[in-house]
C-alpha cells in the first residue's frame, strides 16, 4: 500500500469523527489534506457531490462514529474518574433514557468534570482519527 503524506487539520478531522448527524458527510481530499463537508443545506451541494463522485480516487469517505460510541466513551470515562461520589452516581445516570444528557447534567454538578469529559471525548475522537489515517496508509506531515 502506498503512503499518502498530507498536511491535515487533525482537530477538524476529529470533529468529523464525533459528528453522528446523518445529514453530514465528510470526505478527506487525498491531494490537499482538507475535509469536504456535504450537507443538504449547502449552497454548492450539487457541485460538491459531483466533484466527489467524479474524482472518487481523490476523496476518502470519513466514517461516522459507531452508534454506541458515546456509551463506550462514557464507560471508559467512568473507569478513569477518581471522585468516588461521582463514580457511584454515573452508572445511575447511564440508565436514563437519554444517558448522554443525564450524564452531562450530573457532570455539571461536579466542578471541572464537564471540562474533563469534553477533553476525554476530544482525545478519544483524535485517537480514532489517527488510527483510521494509519489504516488508510496516510501519514500526517503537518497538523494544522
Query: Where are the chain's structural domains?
Result: 4-65+128-143, 69-123
Could you tell me the pTM of the whole model?
A: 0.83
Give the span between the Cα atoms of 106 and 100, in whole angstroms.
10
Confidence of residue 40 (pLDDT cuts 50, 70, 90): confident
Q: For residue 4, how many other CB atoms are within 10 A of its CB?
A: 17
CA 15 to chain CA centroid, nearest Å? 5
Segment (H or E) for 103: helix 99-107
Confidence of residue 144 (pLDDT cuts 50, 70, 90): low
Confidence of residue 34 (pLDDT cuts 50, 70, 90): very high
Residue 96 DSSP symbol: S
How high is the mean pLDDT of the chain? 87
- The per-residue pLDDT for 8 is 93
Res. 49: pLDDT tops 80: no
- 3-class state of residue 61 by DSSP: strand
Residues 119-127, mean pLDDT to the nearest whole number = 93
- Would you mind telling me the total number of residues written for the chain in this entry? 144
Res. 139: pLDDT tops 80: yes
Residues 5-32, mean pLDDT to the nearest whole number = 92
Amino acid at each position: 500500500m502506498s503512503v499518502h503524506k498530507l498536511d491535515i487539520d487533525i482537530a477538524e478531522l476529529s470533529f468529523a469523527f464525533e459528528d453522528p448527524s446523518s445529514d453530514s458527510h465528510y470526505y478527506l481530499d487525498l491531494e490537499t489534506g482538507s475535509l469536504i463537508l456535504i450537507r443538504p443545506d449547502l449552497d454548492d451541494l450539487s457541485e460538491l457531490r459531483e466533484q466527489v463522485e467524479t474524482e472518487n480516487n481523490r476523496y476518502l469517505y470519513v466514517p461516522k462514529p459507531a452508534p454506541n460510541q458515546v456509551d463506550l466513551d462514557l464507560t471508559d470515562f467512568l473507569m478513569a474518574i477518581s471522585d468516588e461520589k461521582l463514580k457511584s452516581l454515573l452508572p445511575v445516570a447511564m440508565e436514563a433514557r437519554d444517558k448522554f444528557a443525564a450524564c452531562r447534567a450530573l457532570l455539571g454538578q461536579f466542578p471541572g468534570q464537564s471540562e474533563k469529559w469534553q477533553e476525554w471525548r476530544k482525545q478519544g475522537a483524535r485517537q480514532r482519527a489517527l488510527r483510521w489515517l494509519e489504516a488508510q496508509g496516510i501519514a500526517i506531515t503537518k497538523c494544522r
